[in-house]
Structure 1
Amino acid sequence: MRIAKAQRIGRSVSSIGLGCWQLGGDWGDTDEQRSQDILHAAADAGTTFFDTADVYGDGRSEKSIGQFLKDRDDSDGFFVATKMGRRLPEQVAEGYTLDNYRRWTDRSRENLDVDTLDLVQLHCPPSEVLRDPQTYDDLRVLKDEGRIRDFGISVEICDDALHAIGEDDLASVQIIFNVFRRKPAERFLRAATDRGVAVISRVPLASGLLSGKYDATTTFAANDHRNYNRDGSAFDVGETFAGVPFEIGVKAAQDVAELTPSGWTTAQMALRWVEQMGSTTVIPGARTPEQARLNAAVGELPTIPEETMAALAKIYNDQIREHVHTRW
């Protein structure tokens, strides 16, 4: 596994992490034993970075990770990032206050059974929250009080990310970045790297599209966001299939699959692309222990050839760009 380090975090983490949204829900039914099996499989394969949020299953994901940490003798080597803010209605700025930050982080500390949270990220708050200096002053208070070691943000749009990295002690930015969402490579990644800000790339497989396994007839459970949020009625549509219309994404993903190097899965190529483009860590989810192991193995794969990178860029420009590039 390749190891990455961002100056402002000050700790090394695996370049391939594990996104833990699915341990809480919104991806179909969940099972605690399977959650533990996934976490342990990822860790045994070299994963040290785990990303969660207080609203994933209303704390269920955090509690699963807390149990996992308790069961490991090597838990000191793991880094857990959580998020807060989405207990408020989406895109409502009122409520992003120090008192709420204290309550939310105390709840996450209890769920994870830790005294101090490694990293807390504001969970895609409204832009006005990210542009308010008081926001960062309040987060600094949490550090001073020992509730958190570092703070970062999770964003939907590049402009919010670019604004926030002007804060000298912002540790990280989490952003959607994948073969079908390339704008961060043009607008943001170099600026973040130059300032020592960790880049956490989420939705790297476009909600599974970039596994190359879906076709136009693929269906999803009623409680899976890939079913109920295709129109963005529950939360930002960019979180589901990276905002790409499903039928268009299926066709483009099939073209991506044809470029997969021998011995790789298409998902592994898509993850290696994100890693290769300059992310600090990439956080694919996993529904099975085997998926977690395959994801972690990306940290050992060689560089994608230039001709394949060029072909992937052409697929984006010809089929995807018009649907996503100007929106986020």
Structure 2
Amino acid sequence: LRGYGVSVDTLPDMQTAMQTTGCTVMELLFNAFHQDVRAGLGGAAAQGIGLIAKVPLDSGWLSGRYDADSRFSGVRDRWLPDDISRRALLVEQFAALLPAGMSLAHAALGYALAQQQLTTVIPGARSLQQVADNMAASNVKLDTRTIDAILALWHREIEDEPLPW
């Protein structure tokens, strides 16, 4: 075994893994709406831990697939109506920050890719078209103003009242 990794969703879990496991890679819940692990990125990178961003499209919300009228089954039925309404509003606010013509998915993936400490980003896909579109996002370079605005949205609307996973 050359190394091993862990998959974590929160900053406390990330910090515990960094302090106790000796892992060489971490898969982190990170996207424009889930950024609490941001505070641990520098420390993990300084320890030489490879960092993978999982769920960069927030389970489809940051692809523009869902809105306030969306209803879910399966694993996504965990979202209460208030969670759905809030996410839909946040998607609208996110979209308003983007350069004209940029898709939500490209912006969301571009935002994750702009985090220098992240080694890679692994978006999900349900079709070859989605795979191709996700790959095209690797060429997206968000400007500093947009990156800062997305971070400010998280600080203002989500940081103190996190969205449920």
CA–CA distance in 2 between the matches of 1:285 and 1:171? 23
CA distance in structure 2 between the partners assigned to 1:292 and 1:249 by the alignment: 24
In structure 1, the partner of 2:107 is 269
Distance 2:149 2:139 in 1: 23
Structure 1 partner of 2:79: 230
Deviation at 1:168, TM superposition (A): 7.9
- 1:280 maps to which residue? 119
1:106-121 counterparts in 2 under 5 A? Answer: none
Residues in 2 aligned to 1:161 and 1:271: alpha-carbon distance in whole angstroms = 21
Residues 169/246 of structure 1: CA separation in 2 closer, same or farther (3 Å cut) = same
Contact kept, 8 Å, 2:36 with 2:159, in 1: the verdict is no
Partner of residue 63, structure 2? 211
Q: Contact 2:28–2:53 at 8 Å: present in 1 too?
A: yes
1:164 corresponds in structure 2 to 17
Offset at residue 213 of structure 1 (A) = 3.6
Amino acid at match of 1:156: D
Give the conservation status (yes or no) of the 8 Å contact 1:153–1:172: yes
**1:169 Cα offset (Å):** 4.5
Matches within 5 A, 1:22-33: none
User: How much does 1:167 deviate?
Assistant: 5.6
Aligned-partner SS, 2:28:
strand
CA RMSD of aligned residues (A): 2.3
Structure 2: distance between partners of 1:310 and 1:170: 31
Equivalent residue pairs, number: 163
Q: Distance in 2 between matches of 1:156 and 1:190?
A: 17
8 Å CA contact 1:215–1:250 kept in 2: the answer is yes
C-alpha deviations, 1:53-101, integer Å up to 9, x for none? xxxxxxxxxxxxxxxxxxxxxxxxxxxxxxxxxxxxxxxxxxxxxxxxx
Secondary structure in structure 2 of the residue aligned to 1:321: coil
Aligned position for 1:174:
27
**Contact map agreement 1:212 1:256 (CA 8 A) in 2:** no
Contact preservation (8 Å) 1:153, 1:173: yes
Contact kept, 8 Å, 1:212 with 1:257, in 2: the verdict is no
**Structure 1 residue 257, shift from structure 2 partner:** 1.3
- Is 1:250–2:99 an aligned residue pair? no
The alignment partner of 1:174 has SS state of: strand
Aligned mate of 1:293, from 123, 132, 139: 132
> What CA distance in whole angstroms lies between the structure 1 residues aligned with 2:51 and 2:26?
5
Structure with bigger gyration radius: 1
Identical counterparts, % of pairs: 29
Could you tell me how far apart the structure 2 residues matched to 1:245 and 1:190 are?
Answer: 31
Q: Which amino acid aligns with 1:267?
A: A
Q: Tell me how far 1:256 sits from its aligned partner.
A: 0.9
Aligned position for 1:195: 47
Find the residue that maps to 2:161 and give its secondary structure.
helix
Task: Please state whether the residue corresponding to 1:153 is helix, strand or coil.
Answer: strand
SS at match of 1:150: coil
Residue 143 of structure 2 corresponds to which residue in structure 1?
305
**Alignment gaps of 5+ in structure 2:** none
Deviations 1:162-194 (A, max 9, x none): 232246851111111111111111x21000111
Q: Which runs of 4+ in 1 moved over 3 A?
A: 166-169
